[in-house]
Amino acid sequence: MFISNAYANTAGAAQTGGTMELIFMLVIFGLIFYFMIYRPQAKRVKEHKNLMSSLGKGDEVLTSGGILGKIAKISDDNDYVLLNLNDSTQITIKKDYIAAVLPKGSIQSL
């Protein structure tokens, strides 16, 4: 009396836009992933690779651990650099841990 009967539609209305909407959403998510994640990370990796190739003896550098030093010895055949922290202290670090090259005279001004 209060509830009406529900009958199935026998006309067979098919969903035609479902697959196109799904493909469109996947393309949108792919573009968002590319422009917000992959592209900036690839740019940072390229800049760091250029920094590593431009290192030379006598450059003042900042490590990712916050250590300031001057490059005393660098070689192309291995991945390690000898840093002078002061006149009597030297440490060996991997090239990958160098975060930035400082202008000449930065260590003396501190």
| CB contact at 8 A, 103 and 59 | no
Note the pLDDT of residue 18: 79
Report the C-alpha gap between 31 and 40 in whole angstroms: 13
Q: Which one, of 45, 53, 44, 93, lies nearest residue 70 by Cα?
A: 93
- Residue 16 in this model has a pLDDT that exceeds 70: no
Task: Supply the CATH classification number for the domain 56-109.
Answer: 2.30.30
Spans of all domains in the chain = 16-54, 56-109
What would the pLDDT profile of 30-65 be if each residue is shown by its tens digit? 999 999 999 999 999 999 999 888 899 999 999 999
Q: Is the pTM of this model over 0.75?
A: no
As a whole number, the mean pLDDT across the chain is 88
